Structure 1
């Protein structure tokens, strides 16, 4: 009797875990919530939140995950019993989505109250560090541009992250370095030399039939624009 009871409990845990895994695997919103939960936990450890703050964050995140699980269960059941459009089925799904929205809004408010001062302080220290080192600024900008270019390419779904597509990543990096050199020196000879090198980069991408002229120009303008705005804000 005891053995059977133990097996029933174990099976209950297995079923519950399988339900969570299946929801994460099949539901886009659950993937997002799970990612945010892991990210918040990592940030909490990094910023050293208090024990009480961690408890409040854990409760808020658990409510969001539980609400999303219940909403998924409601949607699956409604689709099973009412495959055709029905006003009551729509209402059931809307109510379930509303529960997720309330839980997520509460989690956002809690996260803001816990993190806003800490994150503001960290960003202030980060930008102070950037201002003190021109090399750090350029490295940060190049990394940011790479991420931005890949994101834009994925949006247009043309080419691969590292080859082809719009905009040209090499042209964007070349444009960023050109503006970086422009801010660094007043020597007109260096300015024209860096401009010549930028043109060579654009020409090589077109000559190699990796990008069109328009794609290289957009990449260069993107790199120059982002770099100019960032360096102007930092007043370097």
Structure 2
């Protein structure tokens, strides 16, 4: 039977070890990323039903990444304490420790790809089939993508606000997106021209209101219509 002092030392050792891991997570952004990635892998493992042996491989791989990152952090902190100024050997030691993390990370990517590749492929196929069978979901997703693209373009040019003015015209982009969607749904030449006329009216109203220049409205329509067409063709609607 171990005496109380020995039991106390074992408990302290565990406490110190846990504190070390917690401190690394609190202070190192890479460790926080590893925590997030670990949770994602655990969720994917339960969702896709990995085998017992695959789970063992994933556990070893994740542990290897954590171990190398903890050692890398310990090496960096130790060198920072000892070396108050630049030293080439100190740099080499840090680089080697970081290299160990890189090797473990690349290994984890390969393992993840091998284990989840076929499983993810099945999920993506099922998702695309679901989208193809229900155009209303695709319609909502495409409009959201177009809106995000417009806001991103406006932020790049730093002109106007996300909802008014600037490059490109959001109203023209959404109008053109709806036009392409309607044409894909109906496949009717009359609807094609009537809905296109509405797009022109939207563009004209933005120009007349001096909210956008003709070029901004044209670019908006091209962005919305082109992006929508690309997404619909990709999904083979």
Band the TM-score falls in, shorter-chain normalisation = 0.7 to 0.9
Indicate conservation of the 8 Å contact 2:24/2:73, yes or no: yes
Indicate conservation of the 8 Å contact 1:175/1:198, yes or no: no
The structure with more radius of gyration: 2
Unaligned runs of 5+ in 2: none
**Equivalent residue for 1:118?**
119
**Equivalent residue for 1:193?**
198
**Equivalent residue for 1:84?**
85
1:229 and 2:230 equivalent?
yes
**Equivalent residue for 1:66?**
67
Task: Work out the CA distance in 1 between the residues paired with 2:35 and 2:195.
Answer: 50
Deviations 1:58-113 (A, max 9, x none): 11011101111111111111112113221101110111011111111111111111
TM superposition shift of 1:181: 2.6
After TM superposition, the score normalised by the length of structure 2 is 0.77
Which deviates more from structure 2 when the two are superposed, residues 222-231 or residues 211-220? 211-220
Deviations 1:21-51 (A, max 9, x none): 2222222222222211111111111111112
Task: Work out the CA distance in 2 between the residues paired with 1:7 and 1:212.
Answer: 76
After TM superposition, the score normalised by the length of structure 1 is 0.77
**Equivalent residue for 1:93?**
94
Alignment RMSD (CA, Å):
3.7
Aligned residues, how many? 229
Which deviates more from structure 2 when the two are superposed, residues 178-187 or residues 28-37? 178-187
Equivalent position SS for 1:83: coil
